[in-house]
Every structure is written in structure tokens, then in C-alpha cells.
Amino acid sequence: MKNELLKQLNDKSAKIGIVGLGYVGLPLMIRYSEVGYKVIGFDIDQSKIDLLNSGKSYIEHIKSDEIKKSKEVGFEATTDFKRIGEVDAIILCVPTPLNKYREPDLSFVLDTTEACVPYMRKGQVISLESTTYPGTTEEELLPRIEKSGLKVGKDFFLIYSPEREDPGNPNFTTRTIPKVCGGHTENCLEVGVKLYEGVIDKVVPVSSTKAAEMTKLLENIHRAVNIGLVNELKVVADKMNIDIHEVIDAAATKPFGFVAYKPGPGIGGHCIPIDPFYLTWKAREYGVHTRFIELAGEINSGMPSYVMKKIGQGLNERNITINGAKILVLGIAYKKNVDDMRESPSVFLMEKLRRRGADVSYSDPHVPVFPKMREHSFDLSSVELTPENLQSYDCVVLATDHAKFDYETIIKHSKFLVDTRGKFKERSEKIVKA
């Protein structure tokens, strides 16, 4: 069984099934198609399936031409999970959010697994790429699959290989970012490495699925903690009338022992605000309280409130209250130059402003219409940044520093500007750093 699957993966006769066609699954599908694999994509969102099957992309940095090229070599998308039996590899790329109690929500992973299991057969490899706590693959996926009578390491092969996508980053692609891979057994690991080595330049094998799961959490916790540190230092520096961005730039000239992290209005994306809490939750099972991680999360999640405070102070100095004030938020994607809205601190800020009675608008060249989101709802479209429009707002808040913004026009025509990204270096009475 193993040798036949290895042969199929090696000669690219294996069919690849990718479940979840979003920011992770779609680039992976394109990469497998590029090198000659036949790919079937699975998703529960019929609108996405329809767009893909018509050769159209719904993610800004993924061009429709790439979808069309994939279709030309055999890619097709479906909502029909009965077709899981057609593929030789099943790669799960579904969300792993937190619930309202800030605890792991594995419903997407578990529901997807349950949807696949009835149609799984001997000779398949299944890989989980969704970020999760150590133990998920062997504690949750393994027993569900083995209930069907299939034996791991013999009839099917189970691996965990965390996604490492960085949407919109032109310097790193699905192909060039090294791929960590852990298998439940040695046979599983061997198959897992073969699954990815044909499409990824470097595959990094580790000793277990748990080690692979922990690797992804370490990467994101490292970033979350360091961003929390500079966000806290930003508040201290502001009290001392010091520009933290100037300090960070100066410190970054040290050629060793320092990595520059930038503060902001909070943290966003599907990974950094969420993943650390997967480990803190699991750590409690072992009687460990992860104070350092939770403190960083507390600091980062408090940044929209800090920005609110700076907005309120600035408006008060101009004899304007937040209640009734016209406020324009610049950039609602979670980071610059992408259309990715997941966990965006800009949206949390907009909600806080709306609750305080502000008349909130936004401008984002990457998000022309505010999208449907699970937890947020705004009936808004992006405002064009003309001099007249900018002058009509009591406060303009730079939340995400997109390269497409005309910063000269913004600073010239804004009455009052709150800069959360350190974009404006000059000192001016109309600028408040937050």
C-alpha cells in the first residue's frame, strides 16, 4: 500500500484533494497543478466553487489567470465530499478559530474529517495543515478515521504539516517556504515527505505530529510575544514623548542580537491573534499556566482601546466628542497591501467607535466593499481619498499603511490625523501617534 502510493506521488499520477479553498488551500492547489498533479478542490461555499470553476479568483493577490491555468491541467472544484474516494491525498486547510470564551474551536476540522471518513479508502494519505494545539492529529483525527476500520501506517497515512502562508508577501511563495512535516508512524512520515517534496523546495521532517503542531505554535507565539513587547513599549515611549518607531529603527542598526518588530493598533490575521491561545488552553491539561503568552495576548488585544483613547483625547482638544464625530479609518485589512480581513484590529476599532456614537467610514484600496464576516457587520464601501472627502472628517485614523495610499494628500488635507503605524515622521499639531 505504501509503496504504491509513494510511486503515484513520485510520478505525479496521484490525485490531490485539497479541502478548504481559502488563503492556504488555493495557493497550494495552484502549486500542485503547476507541477502536473490533477487536483480536486473541496469547499462548502458554493459561491467559491462556482467562481473557481469559471476560472475566477476571489482573493486579490491570487490572479484569475492562475486559476485558469490550473483548470487547463485538470483542476476542478466541488462541494461533493463523496468524491474524496477519487483522490490519493487529502490535505485539510480549514479554519481553526477561537470560540467566544477564547478556547479552541475545532468544529471546522472535526466536521471536515467526519465528512471525509465515510468515503476514505485504503492507500490514501491525509494531511492536516490547520494550526492547532499539540495532540490534535492523534487525539481527534486518528480515532475518527480508524473507526472506519482503516489502520494507520498500513491502510492510510496520517501527517501534520502546518501552513506557512504569508499573503501578499512577494519574497516568499508556497514553493520557497520550507515545509515542516510530522507523521504518526515512520511510514506516515515517509509518505508525507513524498507528498510535499515534489512541490516544495525544502521539506523539514520532525519526529511526530505533535512536534510539527508545536513548531507552528512556537513560530506564531514568538511573533505575538515580541509584538506585545513593542506595543507595551510604545505606550511607555509615548508618555516620555519619544517616537518608538525612531527607537526601533535605530536599534535595528545593530547587526546582531536584535530583530525589529513594529507596533500597531493591535494584531490581525488568522494566526497571530489566535494560535497562542491554542497552546495556553492545552497547557492547562498539564497544569501549566502560560503567563507570558497570555500577557502578550492581553497587551495586543488592548491596542484598539489604546487607539480609541488617543482619538478621544485628540478630539477633546478640538472641542469635539466621539459621539457624533465623523471618523475615517484608513486600511481595514489586517496588514498592508492585502485584502485579508481576518481578525483585523481595524474592524475592532471601527466597532468601538460605532458603539461610542461615531459616524464611521473607511478607505481601503484592497477592500472596495466591506465583506460579510462571521462576527462583524458594516454596510459600507471604501471612500475615495480626495481632498474634499478628507477635509469632511473630524478625524482620520491610519490603521493599515497600504502602499497605494497617497500619504502626501492624506496629511495635507486631514484636519486631525491619528497615526498607528509610525508612517508620518514629521512632528505636527495635527498628528497624534498611537
- What's the rounded Cα separation, in Å, for the pair 294 and 280? 7
- Kindly state the cell numbers that stand for 242: 519619544
The conformation of residue 10, written as its DSSP 8-state character, comes to H
- The alpha carbon of 205 is separated from its chain's Cα centroid by a whole number of angstroms, namely 23
- Measured CA to CA in angstroms, residue 146 lies from 126, 135, 188, 376 at distances of 12, 16, 14, 39
Is residue 303 classed as helix, strand or coil in its secondary structure?
helix
- What's the rounded Cα separation, in Å, for the pair 251 and 254? 6
Q: Does residue 307 contact residue 418 with C-beta atoms inside 8 Å?
A: yes
Catalytic residues: 271
- Kindly state the cell numbers that stand for 429: 499639531
The conformation of residue 139, written as its DSSP 8-state character, comes to I
- What's the rounded Cα separation, in Å, for the pair 227 and 272? 10
User: What is the H or E stretch that residue 111 is in?
Assistant: helix 107-116
Among candidate residues 153, 156, 158, 163, the one with its CA nearest the CA of residue 132: 163
- Measured CA to CA in angstroms, residue 229 lies from 188, 264, 292, 356 at distances of 39, 11, 11, 29
3-state DSSP of 329-383:
EECCCCCCCCCCCCCCHHHHHHHHHHHCCCEEEEECCCCCECCCCCCCCCCCECC
Q: Does residue 134 contact residue 283 with C-beta atoms inside 8 Å?
A: no
Measured in residues, the chain has a length of: 434
- What's the rounded Cα separation, in Å, for the pair 222 and 225? 5
Q: Does residue 382 contact residue 368 with C-beta atoms inside 8 Å?
A: yes
Among candidate residues 312, 301, 332, the one with its CA nearest the CA of residue 232: 301
